[in-house]
A and B are shown apart, each in its own frame.
Chain A
């Protein structure tokens, strides 16, 4: 067998996960519909005043994005764990960290990216101005990879544990809070005229930290689960 380079292994894992998702679209679509429905419920529950809706829009969109990401976390490793693929990955010559990074990237392409692309349409429901929608998309594009990276650690830790789906929310949601604060804060401060740069820079800093430590911690968690 020819020795596979790390980048080709990474690409192969991403391609495989995307193909698997394409073959079974319902998983991905459920998450997106969940996002749309949760966001659409808020105006019904709170009332249709536009001023109020404009104010709560960033927070509502972000909380819904957090919950939607959480919903998709269990399927990140569960199927591969069940059919033994994960063990083969751990045994393969390619470092597990690289394969895990590929899986996290694929998870983001399937959950984070569509959420960010859907957000402007939902933001229109809340009467957000066009430039605020732009900031919203940008914040989601920087923030949702952090959600996938942190979530992967939680998914790895709860792999094969009884009640894992509920447990993952307890483990992961507290760690999501900074992303929520600065993600929603970026849009709010843009609307308030303060500019979103500071918040976006902090989000990018979180992304850098999570990109460095996330795959590593996930790999450790998976090795513990596979023992």
Chain B
């Protein structure tokens, strides 16, 4: 049972994980660990969280079979786990509600968060509003521009959004800034880390708050189909939605676990966020020992993805473990492939997925072709596409007036093939 043996050493998944942080944060991490361990066996805490899931988020989220989409997946049956139907629009709320309840238990009055696509920031701003906590969200300048809608949402919810101008001005730099804030304000502040990375106990804690995705989905698939899926596909930024849906299947050896990374312009272009390729090697970033896109001097290399939520040069340590142990597979999906899957789901099923989730859909198209008509594929639809409408509209040249001219010009300069997703 892999899931039982992974954490023998404090906070380690095999060699991965750990706690590489300034001493100033160790006390806070220990306090957090103590509180969350107690909370996870406290019926009162679990009850309060379950009630929020039910009456606030709308859990359990349903599963939806998508037969018209599946026609493009080698005939395999495809089922979506609909985290996009959650309040605030993505899986991120599962973890946030757990962490804001913990913040209250620890007697802290303020939360901070980093965000890439803005979904985690929106979820945190929401949880803070719900429980009356102060909230500051760090977001790379580039991401504030490509996810302007979510910046507005966070501000409407009463959060302060701080654009970060350092480094690549994306998620990685937002994480750095959040850590700086935390070191300075740790007495009053809890850092609601948004994915399954960072120093122990974050990877384990965030996974446990997201496990509900897989726990529900496994039972729902069993109930509906009388069998387990052959493959579970999920996109992997830091890896929280993927860990959430994978974890309940880890001990089902016949279920393939497939994580899809941001392949950007292709791994050969060097402009990608594929941490499980030859260009990434194990190292330390943001408190954890895991795979990192780094150069031959150990300096972090900037990642690229059309999807702000996958644009991160490192990945959760438990994913590193699952990959090295062979239990899970990881593959890059290019921007073109993801956008093709995005359009396909919209037109065949009337569902606009988040661009992050579209990577998982592209993965389902590939694995479906491998499995054929007997196959059953479960996909984590980690979020909905509202936040991405602008990006997608530009991508497909759907804007009016001057913008359409601009988009057309751009298209003429660098032609994007229609059939980009055909490579199996």
Q: Do these two chains really belong together in a complex? A: no
Interface residues of B (CB under 8 A from A): none
Give A residues with C-beta under 8 Å from B. Answer: none
